Amino acid sequence: MVRDSLFYAANFEPEVVRMFKAYDASQKDVAEKFKERALAITDEILTKKEFSSAGREEWFSVRNLLLGYDQLDAYARQVLLTFGRPFSYKFANTR
């Protein structure tokens, strides 16, 4: 299986969900591990340079949201939670 940007983007949402679940359960150390995994995914996506400059800018914004995940309001949290969803649907339909 090719591990392109679509593959990594499709795996982004589950890591964010796990991060917030751990954080909400007061397991900050576990949440930090999932944050690091989500950051690694964004770094992998940005390294591949397969998105347009606008797409890359969005992933940089997502990366910044991840860095301050514990300070997000409900709206920003929802944005972060759903960001990977279109990629996971597309990945499932194209593989």
CA atoms of 1 and 83, how far apart (whole Å)? 23
Residue whose C-alpha is closest to residue 22's, from 11, 34, 14, 10:
34
The answer for 3, left when phi > 0, alpha when psi is -120 to 50, beta otherwise, is beta
pLDDT score of 91 more than 50: no
* Model pLDDT, residue 49: 81
DSSP letter at 26 equals T
For the stretch 40-87, pLDDT in tens is 999 998 998 887 888 888 889 999 999 999 999 999 998 888 876 665
Single-letter residue type at 53: S
Q: Which two tokens stand for residue 47?
A: 């390294």
The answer for 46, left when phi > 0, alpha when psi is -120 to 50, beta otherwise, is alpha
CA atoms of 45 and 39, how far apart (whole Å)? 10
